[in-house]
Amino acid sequence: MARYKPYDVDQGKFIPVSFRDQILPGSFEYALHEIVEQHIDLTPFEARYTNDDNGRLAYDPAVLLKIVLYGYYKGIVSSRRLAEACERNVQFMALSADARPHFTTIADFVAQMHREVASVFTDVLMYASELHLIGRGTFAIDGCKLPGNASKQWSGTHQELRRKQKKLEAAAKKIVARHQAQDAQEKPSPVVAQEEKKRATYERTIDKIKSFLRSAKKNVGPSGNERKSNITDPDSAKMSTNHGVIQGYNGVAVVDATHQIVVTAQAHGEGQEAHLLAPMIECTREQCRAADIDEDVFRKAKLTADAGYSSQESVQYTQEKNIDAYIADRTHRRRDPAFAHADRYKERAREEKRRRAGRNPERYTVKDFDYDEKTRTCRCPAGNALYRNGNNIDVNGYLGVKFRGAKSVCGPCTLRHRCLTTPQKTETKQVTIFIGAAESRKEKPLEKMKRKFDTLLGRFIYNQRIAIVEPVFANLKNKGLRRFTLRGKRKVDAQWKLFTLVHNIEKIAHCGTS
């Protein structure tokens, strides 16, 4: 029979730990320790404390900052879990010099970071620039929509919230009426106590809605229409994502192409992004100027943005400021030769939709009509010539040529059921062939951007965007930074800057020595 060495998992052992040996060069914690101790000015934190002459000694902001940033790097956002990690995890002990702050101290430190986080972000950016990690050649801007600390069930316009209030009041009255009827019959019911709790919940909700409607103003968007407000966090927004509708914030970041350093980070409680382009550009200018990167970083740098930032105002702003921007529009894939046959899937979906609706799925479209650009003549699918009854027609800024079939030809045609939507009522076929944009439309900023975007160089520069900015969001989400835990725009903006600081410090740790 085999013999084994004895073991006992209940035995204890005292192990000497050197905190300095736990912070290894080349690691994230080493870069974090060096940056916080040597490259960040912590004097702005001193305004928090008034214990110069008396009062309890406070935890050093350097210790708390290292605990929070290292916790975010490990995907720990909860202040309770951060406090627990300081007691159990050797890396946290080493970074904090075995300080064990209470979770309320950590939570209060993070909640007030909106006062000092801008200077911390600038100091880290300045250090990254000293290490030559910012190339200033191309910047990419994009947003990452993350849930906030509020439920979307508490969202709605003022009118919708009033309707919800009336429904709850009616439900509470029905409960009271049922109780009064039972009291009159003197028949006690076992569900009375449960319904009383439900009625009390309804009344608290009604009071909460009333208080919000009395004090809160309507949330008006850039277009002038009212947007949904949230009672719990009025600064957050209801926005659609690939994973459904969420209640949260849009973390917008401007990323440098060389080593994917985030140069500007802001959180906005808005799902629409077009009107955020100009403020983000100006903020990037100021941020790079404050970090001594460049007095005007967009003098030579290029800027790429996806279709969410495309609008007449935003594109016009970049052209007026002489910014070399490449902003996609919503139809740029239709003009891309690589996606020339992408519409075949949409056409198949349209045919299935027409078949379900009882319409003829084989009905002809404009593509089935043979148009000659030189002679400006058109023939129908049956081979008959159509006569032109309109030339250079302006339809929403686009020029078109209008054709119509003759009654003597369309009347006896055997393809009427495939050519006309209602062959029983319509006599002849009319078709408009678009030949280009009108002069008034060509001068608009969006048309200029389209011509610039559709060049070989424009497509090449824009195609780099996804490899610049998307890995930043993927890195943060892979670390577990998938939601905001604070409420209010200022606090969430500070937490988003802390998220991106983790990414920047990691880049410094991995690329700063190369």
Alpha helices in 89-191 (DSSP H): 90-96, 103-111, 117-130, 158-185
Question: In DSSP terms, which residues pair with 390 in a beta bridge?
Answer: 402
More confident residue, 183 or 450: 450
Instruction: Tell whether domain 138-148+235-332+454-498 is in CATH 3.10.110.10.
Output: no
Residue 507: pLDDT over 80: yes
Give SS3 for 131. coil
d(CA 399, CA 438): 5
**Which pairs from 392-396 meet CB under 8 Å and 24+ separation?**
393/432, 394/438, 394/440, 395/432, 395/434
Which letter does DSSP use for residue 217 in this model? P
Average pLDDT of the residues of the chain: 88
The C-alpha torsion from 40 through 104 and 86 to 71, rounded to 10°, is: -60
% of residues, the chain, pLDDT over 70: 93
**In the chain, pLDDT over 90 holds for what percent of residues?**
50
Confidence of residue 298 (pLDDT cuts 50, 70, 90): very high
Higher pLDDT, 336 or 64: 64
pLDDT score recorded for residue 27: 92
In eight-state DSSP terms, residue 303 is E
The answer to whether 218 and 229 have CB atoms below 8 angstroms apart is yes
Residue 513 banded pLDDT, cuts 50, 70, 90 = low
pLDDT band of 184, cuts 50, 70, 90: low
Q: Is the pTM of this model over 0.85?
A: no
Distance separating alpha carbons of residues 34 and 123, to the nearest angstrom = 13
How confident is the model over 482-501, as pLDDT tens digits?
999 999 999 999 999 999 99
Using only C-alpha atoms, the chain has a radius of gyration, in whole angstroms, of: 32
Q: Is the pLDDT of residue 172 over 80?
A: yes
- Residue pLDDT, tens place only, 381-403: 888 899 888 887 887 778 889 99
Q: Report whether pLDDT(514) > 60.
A: no
Confidence of residue 122 (pLDDT cuts 50, 70, 90): very high
- Residues in CB range of 299: below 8 A, 6 or more apart: none
Does 503 score more than 60 pLDDT?
yes
Confidence category of residue 139, pLDDT binned at 50, 70, 90: very high
Domain boundaries, the chain: 19-50+58-111, 138-148+235-332+454-498, 158-217, 363-441
Q: Are strands 244-256 and 226-227 parallel, antiparallel or unpaired?
A: unpaired
Q: Has residue 358 got a pLDDT over 70?
A: no
Distance CA 433, CA 369 (A): 9
Mean per-residue pLDDT, 167-174: 85
- State residue 249's pLDDT score: 95
How many residues comprise the chain?
514
pLDDT-derived band at 166, boundaries 50, 70, 90: confident
Tell me which residue of 67, 44, 66 sits closest to 122, measured CA to CA: 44
Rounded to 5 degrees, φ, ψ at 40 are -115, 130
- Provide the pLDDT confidence category of residue 468 given band limits of 50, 70 and 90: very high
